Amino acid sequence: MRTRIGIVGAGPAGLMLSHLLHRAGIESIVVEARSRQYCEARIRAGLIEQWAADMLVETGVGARMQRESMVHDGIHMAFGGALHRIDFHKLVGKRVTIYGQQEVVKDLIAQRLADGGQILFEASDVALHGIDGRNPKITFTHEGRAQEIDCDFIGGCDGFHGVCRPSIPDGVLTTYDREYPFGWLGILAKTTPVADELIYAYHPRGFALFSMRGPTLVRYYLQCAPDENLDLWPDEKIWDELETRLGGTRPLPRGPLVEKIIAPMRSFVAEPMQHGRLFLAGDSAHIVPPTGAKGMNLAFADVRVLSRALAEFYRSGASDLLESYSQTCLRRVWKAQRFSWWMTRLFHQFPDETPFDKKRQVAELDYLASSEVAATSLAENYVGLPVE
């Protein structure tokens, strides 16, 4: 097989890259290790920054999102037994959209297939070759046959555990990694939302987060040990703990739990995000703790930069945008890392904190709730900084 851009990974980064390239008249092939059913069913975060929601609409894959999503003007912070609202729209004139990542993936897959795009699901033994030369290749096994894709460039969009980043020679990358001393116990429950916008809760027992996936499906998270045993968390204990950490700020509608997970927390960046003809995007290059809701948005920002650089290369032969891809993306990545770390530090209980640290933490929350200047900074970062 021959294509201009070989893409490894059919998550938000790989699918959006393929979609944007198609709109620029550039052909691509996507190779994915998992099945289509797995990709479309895997539930992940669902908060979309305003610029990213606008991009989905402008590029023709946002119609269902417009019909089914929830648009939020702000968030609530819970501490000291009270709710405090940060009004994004009032402060910075922007909003965020709540629409599950799995729904974005469904929409992108449907559009790529409708446009005649190639997505090769359930590909095994994926390997990259010749990324230092002018004609890189992707080899893999698909439907029992050995396959090979000759291409001009490769988009490495296969996530943190994928094959693309390890394909870069030793000594090229510098990695920055921080693992947090806690995780999130996440539940998905069939019940009505406790509020009309997200609630970030600070409590001496640990952080809690309320989110939603629809009018009858909600997502909650509880700070827990990174190696927490789910068997020690029966449903009633989870609901009781959520009520405690929300501090009595709202009556909590209970319902059956349809999912329980333990999500680890880490910050990770690999620099540079490119080597030779391989360009990393999304989770293959960086991971953020989910407190700041930046994961999918950063992936979209990466491939927006990359698609424009590739379009310019094929239009004029100029490679300056491709050469500066990593530098351009990393400016945004590190700002998102800073914000995600700050949000994590703001709401969570850390094992090494002193009584002074806890008092400072509450004072900072109080400052956010009472200062328009402080709240504006939070709002600006949460709804999404300007894109390149």
Hey, what are 296's tokens? 């999918």
Q: Give the phi and the psi of residue 145 in degrees, each rounded to 5.
A: -120, 140
User: Strand 5-8 to strand 28-31: parallel, antiparallel, or no bridges (unpaired)?
Assistant: parallel
- Compute the residue count for the chain: 388
**What are residue 268's DSSP bridge partners?**
177, 287
Report if residue 218 sits inside a domain: yes
Statement to judge: residues 165 and 38 lie in one domain: yes
CA 91 to chain centre: 24
Residue 202 dihedral angles phi and psi, to the nearest 5°? -100, 130
Do the domain assignments include residue 52? yes
Q: Which domain holds residue 51?
A: 5-76+95-176+266-343
Q: Which two tokens stand for residue 217?
A: 């499906």
Residues 193 and 324 in one domain: no
Instruction: Decide: helix, strand or coil at residue 199.
Output: strand
Helices 372-383 and 325-347 pack at an angle, to 10 degrees, of 130
CATH number of the CATH domain containing 238 = 3.30.9.10
Q: Using CA atoms, how far apart are residues 370 and 362, in angstroms rounded to an integer?
A: 12
Indicate whether 47 and 132 sit together in one domain: yes
**CATH code for the domain of 121:** 3.50.50.60
Active site residues: 72, 200, 290, 294, 382
For the entire predicted model, the pTM comes to: 0.95
Same domain, 26 and 116: yes
DSSP 169: P
Question: Are 57 and 138 contained in the same domain?
Answer: yes
Could you read off the pLDDT tens digit of each residue along the chain, which spans 388 residues? 999 999 999 999 999 999 999 999 999 999 999 999 999 988 777 899 999 999 999 999 999 999 999 999 999 999 999 999 999 999 999 999 999 899 999 999 999 999 999 999 999 999 999 999 999 999 999 999 999 999 999 999 999 999 999 999 999 999 999 999 999 999 999 999 999 999 999 999 999 999 987 788 899 999 999 999 999 999 999 999 999 999 888 889 999 999 999 999 999 999 999 999 999 999 999 999 999 999 999 999 999 999 999 999 999 999 999 999 999 999 999 999 999 999 999 999 999 999 999 999 999 999 999 999 999 999 999 999 987 7
What tokens were used for 191?
Answer: 């019940």
Residue 84 within any structural domain of the chain: no
Indicate the number of domains in the chain: 2
Looking at the fold, whether 199 and 306 belong to one and the same domain comes out as no
Measured over all CA atoms, what is the biggest interatomic distance in the chain, rounded to whole angstroms? 63
Within-domain flag for 81 = no
Residue at 89 is within a domain: no
